[in-house]
Structure 1
Amino acid sequence: MSPSQSVHRVPVRTQSLTGAQQQRPVQPQQQLPPQHHLSYRAQYSSPSQTLNRQHSAMPPLPVQIDPLYQIFSSVDKDGIGKLSASELRSALVNFDKTKFDPETIKLMIKLFDSDGSGTIDYTEFKRLWNYLGEWLERFQQFDLDHNTTISIDEFALALQSFGFQFSPSFVRFMFNHYDKRGTGSISFDLFVQANITLQRMHDAFRKYDRGQGTIQISLEDLLTEVLYLK
């Protein structure tokens, strides 16, 4: 995903003196005629003074809209101020312009749908966007060859840096599971999905760990944790 944001520049209207006015130099200590004084004030007075003096000659400046809100509103097709899973998926794409995996979208909604509506409002969308921005920095940190995907070696390095000590066979098992497109690499959305899911599973494990790195868990507790993670 390249969540770059465009910057809207507000055009500035400049005023020039007429030909007759340009030919009339202003001498030191000379009082400007009223019409010249008005033009000078229009350029150097406060915005409220300028609008009061020239409201008939100058149109109001356009309101600058938050670029992120423009993204949100452009995919909010029904205009209710909330994004469904399909609408959110339209807003989130990888570097190659492919849409996020549905499971990643489901995970994002689970993490940021604070009111349990099953949708994402604009406040939740802003938090989600910033969260993905943090993951984007990590993704680019481990994308050593800068090809916008993560190889298995880069994936193993990321897991190790996050504090996980897994065997090479398990790393490959995880990698193959999240290489859902069968390309031999993991895109940004699947990198996020893999690591967030792994972190949530690790947190669930720690609830039962007594500091030995192994746990004893009942079938009921195990099923509870698994269903909660879905």
Structure 2
Amino acid sequence: TSSAVESEARTPFGLIKGHAYSVTGIEEVSYRGRQVRLIRIRNPWGQVEWNGPWSDNSPEWRSVSPSEQKRLSQAARDDGEFWMKFEDFKVHFDKVEICNLTPDALEDNTAHKWEVTIHQGSWVRGATAGGCRNFLETFWTNPQIKLHLTEKDDGEDDCTFIAALMQKGRRKLKKLGAEMLTIGYSIYESPGRDGHLGKDFFRYHPSKARSKTYINLREVSNRFKLPPGDYVLIPTTFEPHQEADFCLRIFSEKKAITEDLDENVAIDLPEPLHPTPNPQETEEEKQFRALFEQISGKDMEISAEELEYVLNAVLKKTKNIKFKNLSIISCRNIISLMDTSGNGKLEFNEFKVFWEKMKKWISIFLQFDFDKSGSMSSYELRGALKAAGYQLNNYLLQLIVLRYSDEQFQIEFDDFLNCLIRLENASRVFQALSVKSKEFINLNIGE
């Protein structure tokens, strides 16, 4: 084989560079009083063969008895299959890949079957395409698969398994100019808790095993032996932000149990705050009341249009956050969330409760704006939403990232605020309707 530039070029010996051949047999033959090691190779094209020593019509066969030739099924046919000397094989070929047909394919003739588990997943840009461990800030966001190794190999102290990671659909996408992505995986000892592992775990814990290399092949597979226990496997692309679907297969000699380390969807919101009179208003509150009175007029109630003006005026003066604009639709959603009287407007106390809520959201946003750029990486959204009371699975996170992040995988505060408003509105409705169960609701046509 040779470089991609010379791929599929024919050599003077009849071999095709960059071509994948199959090994179909190995034998020793008696030749002029000594044993010669031969290997049988097949060109999958079914034609074009090796023309060196021990090829179909080479003179070496004249010194081999007819019975030996019959035993080796030697015949001069242009069928793509040929014999060559093992030493020549080592000279002309530089890579051999072995397919593990069974756990003991290379050890004995006893038939064994693999135990197989299969996981389908995706790397989604901005959400679960975190790249390899070199990119710690996003590595933890990759899909995580928990592996339970419980049964030792017969007569051994360890458990044998093969992890095979395949990127799906890339050959089809090649017609559109897409190349194979560089993929691999790392295996960590599980800390013994459920749920998606965070950034700090990978900061302080080294991997127990990993694929030999990151490479742009359709599938990467390696055989491992690890002590019984729980492990977490992280399949990744080498670079972050690269999208693809993948299939991870775990082949084990004994039964192994695998599961996706995804979060269960859960809502942990405090009871809605009720306004309480504060005899000593802060300077900030005095400014808000003055602005509120100025906008609302004598009725001391703010409509969606007036709320839009108030919030945009305040948030544009807030330091350390990037903010574009809150739309009228967002403000109607805020009123829907905070309007306890049902008149479609916000009274000052309702607005004050909302402002306390928004100050908490601003604090969370600044906490997860790690580079202090004024915007938050979409990869940090999982942690930010959890701090706000929303534990979401990968699928929901991917949908939210697609909706609210920009092309640079950044989320500005107005998009973060819109996301939280919609989540809280949906959550409050769900909580109101889930009388008997916290996981399901039943709706009639009116609801």
Aligned partner (choices 288, 296, 305) of residue 86 of structure 1? 305
Q: 1:120 to 1:155 in 2, by over 3 A?
A: same
Q: 1:188 to 1:80 in 2, by over 3 A?
A: same
Q: Does 1:70 align with 2:70?
A: no
User: How much does 1:75 deviate?
Assistant: 3.0
Which string of whole-angstrom CA distances, capped at 9 and with x for unpartnered residues, describes residues 124-163 of structure 1?
A: 2222212211221122112222222222111122234545
Q: Which residue of 2 aligns with 1:46?
A: none
Q: Does 1:189 align with 2:414?
A: yes
Which string of whole-angstrom CA distances, capped at 9 and with x for unpartnered residues, describes residues 152-177 of structure 1?
A: 1111222345452412x542221111
Larger radius of gyration: 2
What is the alpha-carbon distance in structure 1 between the residues aligned to residue 331 and residue 374 of structure 2? 20
Q: Which residue of 1 aligns with 2:222?
A: none
Matches within 5 A, 1:73-222: 73-76=293-296, 79-93=298-312, 94=315, 95-96=321-322, 98-161=324-387, 162=389, 164-167=391-394, 169-179=395-405, 184-202=409-427, 204=430, 207=434, 215=440, 220-221=443-444
User: How much does 1:123 deviate?
Assistant: 2.0
TM-score when normalising by structure 1? 0.54
The answer (yes or no) to whether the contact 2:369–2:375 under 8 Å persists in 1 is: yes
Q: 1:86 to 1:133 in 2, by over 3 A?
A: same
Q: Bigger CA drift: 127-136 or 100-109? A: 100-109
What is the alpha-carbon distance in structure 2 between the residues aligned to residue 69 and residue 155 of structure 1? 33
The answer (yes or no) to whether the contact 2:382–2:392 under 8 Å persists in 1 is: no
Q: Which letter maps to 2:363?
A: E
Aligned positions, number:
157
What is the alpha-carbon distance in structure 2 between the residues aligned to residue 149 and residue 223 of structure 1? 40
What is the alpha-carbon distance in structure 2 between the residues aligned to residue 194 and residue 222 of structure 1? 27
SS of 1:66's equivalent in the other structure is helix
The answer (yes or no) to whether the contact 1:85–1:109 under 8 Å persists in 2 is: yes
Which string of whole-angstrom CA distances, capped at 9 and with x for unpartnered residues, describes residues 59-90 of structure 1?
A: xxxxxx921112213433x5532211011011
The answer (yes or no) to whether the contact 1:143–1:150 under 8 Å persists in 2 is: yes
User: How much does 1:96 deviate?
Assistant: 4.2
Q: Could you say which structure has the higher strand fraction?
A: 2
Q: 1:123 to 1:195 in 2, by over 3 A?
A: closer
Which string of whole-angstrom CA distances, capped at 9 and with x for unpartnered residues, describes residues 158-208 of structure 1?
A: 2345452412x54222111134x7664322233133234334545627928
Q: 1:107 to 1:160 in 2, by over 3 A?
A: same
SS of 1:92's equivalent in the other structure is helix
TM-score when normalising by structure 2? 0.30
Q: Which residue of 2 aligns with 1:17?
A: none
SS of 2:391's equivalent in the other structure is coil
The answer (yes or no) to whether the contact 2:323–2:414 under 8 Å persists in 1 is: no
The answer (yes or no) to whether the contact 1:112–1:128 under 8 Å persists in 2 is: yes
Q: Which letter maps to 1:152?
A: S
SS of 2:410's equivalent in the other structure is coil
What is the alpha-carbon distance in structure 1 between the residues aligned to residue 323 and residue 294 of structure 2? 17
Q: Percent identity?
A: 21
What is the alpha-carbon distance in structure 2 between the residues aligned to residue 202 and residue 119 of structure 1? 21
Q: Bigger CA drift: 91-100 or 119-128? A: 91-100
Q: 1:104 to 1:208 in 2, by over 3 A?
A: same
Q: 1:149 to 1:96 in 2, by over 3 A?
A: closer
What is the alpha-carbon distance in structure 2 between the residues aligned to residue 97 and residue 201 of structure 1? 24
Instruction: Give unpaired runs (5+ residues) of structure 1.
Output: 1-5, 9-64, 225-230
The answer (yes or no) to whether the contact 1:103–1:193 under 8 Å persists in 2 is: no
The answer (yes or no) to whether the contact 1:113–1:119 under 8 Å persists in 2 is: yes
Matches within 5 A, 1:1-40: none
